[in-house]
Chains A and B, each alone.
Chain A
Amino acid sequence: MKIDVNTLKKIAHLARLEFDEQGAEKMTQDMTQILDWVEKLNEVDTTDVAPITTMSSEENVLREDVVGSHLSHERGLKNAPQRDSDYFRVPKVLE
């Protein structure tokens, strides 16, 4: 699969990452190579193989509906880049 610059831009936008336009060509090549490598998996016949969604073979790892311990308000907010005494603060999303 070939990744073009538009796809690269879309992926960057979705991931909220910025990249240097000058390196775009190199990045599309790298990504194409990565995908080509993953596509090798297509060579395996998986006709009767059920897809797995988790590496564990466990089922029904459930929790009873009981309230447990919380992170304290102060510790929760501790690593926030911006905050006040009550809230996490982020750049304004809506006007």
Chain B
Amino acid sequence: MLPKAIKEKYELVVGLEVHAQLLTNSKMYTSDSTEYGNLPNTNISVITLGHPGTMPKVNKRAVEFAMRMGLACHSEITRRNIFARKNYFYPDLPKGYQITQDKGPICVGGQVPITLASGEEKSIALTRIHMEEDAGKSMHLAGEVDTLVDFNRAGVPLIEIVSEPDIRTSEEAYAYLVEIKKLVRYLDICDGNMEEGSLRCDANISVRLFGDPELGKKVEVKNMNSFRNVARAIEHEFERQIELIESGTEIISETRTFDATTGTTASMRTKEDLNDYRYFPEPDLSPVVISEEWLSGIKAAMPALPRELHHKFVHTYGLPEYDASVLTDSKEIALFFEKLCTETENYKAASNWMMGPVKSYLNELTLHISDFPVTPEKLAALIHLIDDGKVSFTVASQKLYPEMLKNGQKQPLEIAQDLNLIQESDENSIKPIIEQILSENSKKVEEYKSGKKGLMGMFMGQVMKKSQGKADPKVASRILTELLEND
């Protein structure tokens, strides 16, 4: 471990490159399916396999997905897009080049705001977002003499989101990735699953003495398959690079791979040591020109973004920050809650129901909100029943709600009536019950009157018992007090 005093002299500088697989049906430049999990080498075509004489054609929806991400990050959208060939030889790339964008990426600049645990807000600037295609999958199996290649993934549309070197801590990197994942999921352009590889992240990491205007030599780290591992790799590199500098060893600009079991990075000595991609404009694709009309159509169809909803939940619905964060954590929960809030104005109650009973039901059965048996309308109706004093919260959460989960079709009021759960708030029907209890317990009434106020709970318990839990506690307690005090 590095002494703290030494570590504190150095500043960490990180930029992240995130590849997001787009949720299109077909590939970036061909009509092969992008479906995941098919038998190897079945989502293929002559274009995917790079046969001579084949011509690529751009997937319109992939362009639109890239535009959506750019708009969400406030990037400038490039109106005239050309593609470029990035040349290198690797068996998972049959053409010998990747069709990507080099000069003039579809999105230029922009930023991603993040919130840290301390509540501090920071904005991470983006350099660019560009469109490209994924490579095939190579498998280097132990005991196999060959590498096995599956081209199902080759040509699947990607966007690469490149940040400026604005990140200063591993926590910021983590928060940035969480935000990117939320964004792509809210935008419905990528499923954001890092473990399955639909979101991938490479980190460019360097260190420098605080106050040094020059950036240090950067090291690129790959092969981190979770947000947590990106943070671990950054921590490790930070210390490793400081140690090198402190011992007077020069840092080499290189690509390193992260090993999740040891939490360390190791140099990737591949044969492609000298990376010279010889980019040049892709002559097989005509330019994609984004008109004002096309762009405004995409703008108009933009869904609500997590930060916008968070802001709305706090400022319009008056919810605590914590509630807003939990509710906007997933798009589906947030939209369910939004729907709920069009049916009830008791936003805090709605939030409590979502964060409590709804979430615990989903967690317990590991269900997705789309499988939740109760509609927002019916949940709102349940909240109304409580607000109107028709059922107590206890009865609602312990008796009515479990029934609704079993029978999503029925209205809560109907269930409450069927199960005889409607709370009695009519004074005329509660009063006789209370009078009866008081006359049956005259001794206790005397004790109460001589100062044993704690007996109130016992009386209330009796009322609930006699009314089978249906007496409105507020009304019952008022009548009880009246009768006991004024007698």
- A-side residues, CB < 8 A to B, are 10, 13-14, 16, 51, 53-56, 58-71, 73, 76-77, 82, 84, 86-95
Contact = CB atoms under 8 A, between A and B. Distances in A.
Contacts of B286: 54, 56, 58-61
A61 B31 contact: no
A68 B71 CA distance: 30
A95 B140 CA distance: 7
A82 B144 CA distance: 14
Interface of A is mostly: loop
A59 B59 CA distance: 14
A95 B90 CA distance: 15
Contact of A62 (B49, B63, B82, B90): B63
Given A54-B286, A67-B26, A87-B139, 13 more contacts: A14-B278, A59-B286, A60-B289, A65-B24, A65-B60, A68-B45, A70-B44, A71-B46, A71-B48, A84-B148, A90-B91, A90-B147, A92-B145
Contacts of A68: 26, 30-32, 45
B372 interface: no
A86 B44 contact: no
Interface of B is mostly: loop
B-side interface size class? 35 or more
Nearest 8 Cβ contacts at the A-B interface: A68-B31, A65-B61, A53-B281, A87-B148, A89-B146, A62-B60, A90-B91, A88-B149
A92 B45 contact: no
A58 B82 CA distance: 12
Contacts of A88: 41, 91, 148-151
B134 to A, nearest CB: 16
Contact of B44 (A14, A55, A71): A71
B344 interface: no
B450 to A, nearest CB: 82
Interface string B257-297: 00000000000001000101010011111111100000000
B37 to A, nearest CB: 14
B33 interface: yes
11 contacts: A10-B274, A53-B82, A53-B283, A53-B287, A58-B286, A60-B288, A64-B61, A86-B41, A88-B91, A88-B149, A89-B149
Contact of A59 (B30, B151, B284, B289): B289
A89 B32 CA distance: 22
Given A90-B91, A90-B147, A93-B147, A54 B24 contact: no
Given A59-B289, A65-B59, A89-B147, A77 B26 contact: no
A31 to B, nearest CB: 15
Interface in B17-67: 24-26, 30-33, 39-46, 48-49, 57-63
B278 to A, nearest CB: 7
Contact of B39 (A55, A56, A59, A86): A86
B153 to A, nearest CB: 13
Nearest to B146: A89
A62 B32 contact: no
Contacts of A73: 39, 41-42, 44
B41 A59 contact: no
B290 to A, nearest CB: 9
B279 to A, nearest CB: 12
B140 A94 contact: yes
Contacts of A91: 146-147
Interface in B58-85: 58-63, 82
A84 B147 CA distance: 11
Given A53-B283, A67-B25, A92-B147, A76 B138 contact: no
